A and B are shown apart, each in its own frame.
Chain A
Amino acid sequence: EDQVTQSPEALRLQEGESSSLNCSYTVSGLRGLFWYRQDPGKGPEFLFTLYSAGEEKEKERLKATLTKKESFLHITAPKPEDSATYLCAVQPHTSGTYKYIFGTGTRLKVLA
């Protein structure tokens, strides 16, 4: 069964304290892996799409990496405005249609 697990569930960091969020996935074949940021009461905001193992993408203080079993979202020198829930989603290879499977997210709190 296709599955996505994110860890930790919640993370508190001091401003400037770098860390990584994990997204482990089990799918029959990966078409794409997505990272989103979601602020309370708002819709998810797209961050990255990764397609194949070894791929990396960066945006400001965020860097996403992908292996055959997991993805990491590295946050370098975070600021309080990086506080949000970070969601990971995978799209497995399926014949004739698409599926999107989301993890339950990591709630990140960055303290000033």
Chain B
Amino acid sequence: DSGVTQTPKHLITATGQRVTLRCSPRSGDLSVYWYQQSLDQGLQFLIQYYNGEERAKGNILERFSAQQFPDLHSELNLSSLELGDSALYFCASSVSGRGTDTQYFGPGTRLTVL
């Protein structure tokens, strides 16, 4: 158990809908990272937040957005969902905002778009 929690574990929704994924980092960690893992594309870095501020941006679509709240939990919002958004979404956390920090991954949220 990494100490990172993600909810929900599974999510099934329809195309065009909007969903919110939630992540609570390990106690004491200030950075949160979001990743998407699909069968055809592997693990893709989406975005990093450090202490409430956006720190780094990867291959995140404009339909997706994230934020980190004062209590350091983070939410990833996915809107206008398409079939291709079906994937495992992982959150990770690390102690600081340094890029080479060890990242601890949560168990993931499996999103299925029908």
Whether A100 and B45, one on each chain, are in contact in the complex, defined by CB atoms closer than 8 angstroms, is: yes
| A 76-112 contacts with B by CB, 8 A | 87, 89, 91, 97-105
Give Cα A97–Cα B48 distance, bound, in whole angstroms.
10
Residues of A within 8 A of B57 (CB): 97
Q: How far is the CA of A17 from the CA of B81 in the complex (A)?
A: 46
Known: A42-B108, A43-B106, A97-B55. A102 touches B42 (CB 8 A): yes
- Could you tell me the distance between the alpha carbons of A32 and B57 in the complex, rounded to whole angstroms? 17
CB contact list, B63-93 vs A, under 8 A: 90, 92
The 8 A CB mask of A51-69 against B (1 = contact, 0 = none) is 1000000000000000000
Q: How long is the Cα–Cα vector from A91 to B94 in the complex, in angstroms?
A: 15
Tell me how many residues of A have a C-beta within 8 Å of chain B: 24
Query: 26 interchain pairs (CB within 8 A)?
Result: A31-B99, A31-B100, A32-B100, A36-B105, A42-B107, A43-B4, A43-B92, A43-B107, A44-B43, A44-B105, A45-B2, A46-B102, A46-B104, A49-B100, A49-B102, A89-B43, A91-B99, A97-B55, A97-B56, A98-B56, A99-B45, A99-B56, A100-B45, A100-B58, A103-B42, A104-B42
CB distance from A86 to the nearest CB of B (A): 12
Neighbouring B residues of A100 by C-beta, 8 Å: 33, 45, 58
Known interface pairs A31-B100, A102-B43; A45-B105 also in contact (CB < 8 Å)? yes
Interface residues of A (CB under 8 A from B): 31-32, 34, 36, 41-46, 49, 51, 87, 89, 91, 97-105
Q: Nearest Cβ in chain A — how far from B13, in angstroms?
A: 20
The chain B residue sitting closest to A32, CB to CB, is B100
Q: Which residue of A lies closest to B54 (CB)?
A: A97
Whole-angstrom CA separation of A103 from B106 in the bound complex: 19
